[in-house]
Amino acid sequence: MTTATLNKDMTVKEVLTNWPETLDVFVANGFENFRDEKQRNAVAAFLKLERAAKTKNYDLDNFLGLLQQKIDEQHNLADVTMKKTRKEGSSVNVTGLLPCPVRIPLLEGFDAFIANYTRETGFDVSYKLEAASVGADWIEENIQGIENAGDLPEVFLSAGFETFFDKQAIGRFKDQGVFRDLTNDQVNVDFADIDIRDPKKDYSIIAAVPAVFMVNHDVRGDLPVPRTWADILEPEFEQQVALPVGDFDLFNAILLAIHKEHGEEGIRKLGRCMLKSMHPSQMVKNAKRVAEEKPYVTIMPYFFTKMARMVKSLEIIWPEDGAVLSPIFMLTRSDSIDKVAPIAEFLAGKEVGEILSHRGLFPSLHPEIDNQLNFPHPWKWIGWDYIYQNDIGALIRHTNQVFEDSMNSV
């Protein structure tokens, strides 16, 4: 069973031969003819991935990312070549979830850095950095059972709020002073208008996952174009919206942002507006299909707008009241600062920031990164006051239940 990183010069046949599971990705993104073996054999041997992406007006990096994500999920690439499991006697353990579109380049850069770090310091480093798509199950298996702070990884990375503030998970260690923010107080100008640094200096934020709107004018009818989150909650948008429920990090950030400003009634309205739950890649390809019921509005991570920009009927809208911000957190154990400071500095540094921002459209907090947000880009950030005034883990569970109840009542 072959595992490797894809490249644009591979033919479709090479990809399907090595990774048959990618057929689902091709079919889901407009290559329905590949279902037929004869048609597949006639075309796949000559059609390179770069050309395949061009025929559908897809962004090449995004298209390759979808295929690579499928390979990672199916074969658990991390357990074969890219993941180093914790071994007896390791001096430093780095653990977490990386955004799928940038996981491979981040791991490549991190691997090179760690090799040099070990040569210079003599500290052995093990790391277990999974694709974010494995989500809650991985967190439950690897984090929730930890009882003692000394058993936590020295460095932990992930997007979202649930693990870090849930008092049934890592959140219970925060009040014990277990973590320390080692990032610079300076912040990228793109975040200058919000207080995004943890005032208690426990948690670090290195980047953000923004949630934006995509509207499909082919199915608009007489509906207005939503410009704010409040617009989405209006009765006319009931059962008109696709939501990224499966992307639990971003979805929970959306629930928290709506709850903060609109309370439980806002969550109920959000549930009533949902037409369907789709993966962001499905949201884009669904917009081009005629046979399926298509949502007018989709809410998705900003990254996936790369694929949508070439579809004429789609309009990408950065909400006027702000893109909901799901932070990419980094936790560093305070009792290991002498050892892990260089690792934390690398992960919060310019090289990683450029990969997150330029290849993943996850804006970096590093002050030297050009996030290429050359348009008005306000943020809807729940803020540290709200985080500290609420039991975020319990609130996430509660808002999810309210959402599900309202969705089922439609």
Q: Tens-digit pLDDT profile for the chain (410 aa)?
A: 344 578 888 888 888 878 888 887 888 787 878 877 777 777 887 888 988 888 887 888 888 888 887 787 665 443 433 334 434 445 899 988 888 888 888 999 999 999 999 999 999 999 888 887 776 666 666 666 777 888 889 999 988 887 788 777 788 888 888 999 999 889 999 999 999 999 999 999 999 999 999 999 999 889 999 999 999 999 999 999 999 887 778 999 999 999 999 999 999 999 999 886 654 455 455 555 444 568 899 999 998 887 776 678 889 999 999 999 999 999 999 999 999 999 999 999 999 999 999 999 999 999 999 999 999 999 999 999 999 999 998 999 999 999 988 876 65
What is the domain class of 209-323+399-408 according to CATH? alpha beta
Q: If you compute the radius of gyration of the chain from its CA atoms, what whole number of angstroms results?
A: 21
Q: So what's the pLDDT on residue 86?
A: 39
Q: So what's the pLDDT on residue 140?
A: 64
The 3 state secondary structure assigned to 339-401 is: HHHHHHHHHCCHHHHHHHHHHHCCCECCCCCCCCCCCCCCEECCHHHHHHHCCHHHHHHHHHH
Q: So what's the pLDDT on residue 81?
A: 35
- Give the integer Cα–Cα distance in Å for 112 and 104: 13
Q: So what's the pLDDT on residue 325?
A: 96
What 8-state DSSP symbol labels residue 330?
A: E
pTM over 0.85: no
Question: Hey, where are the domains in the chain?
Answer: 12-71, 78-208+327-389, 209-323+399-408
Answer yes or no: are the C-beta atoms of 262 and 338 closer than 8 Å. Answer: no
End-to-end CA distance of the chain: 46
What 8-state DSSP symbol labels residue 82?
A: I
Answer yes or no: are the C-beta atoms of 328 and 356 closer than 8 Å. Answer: yes
Q: Does 209-323+399-408 match 78-208+327-389 at the fold level?
A: yes
The answer regarding whether domain 78-208+327-389 maps to CATH 3.40.47.10 reads no
User: Side chain identity at 125, as an amino acid letter?
Assistant: V
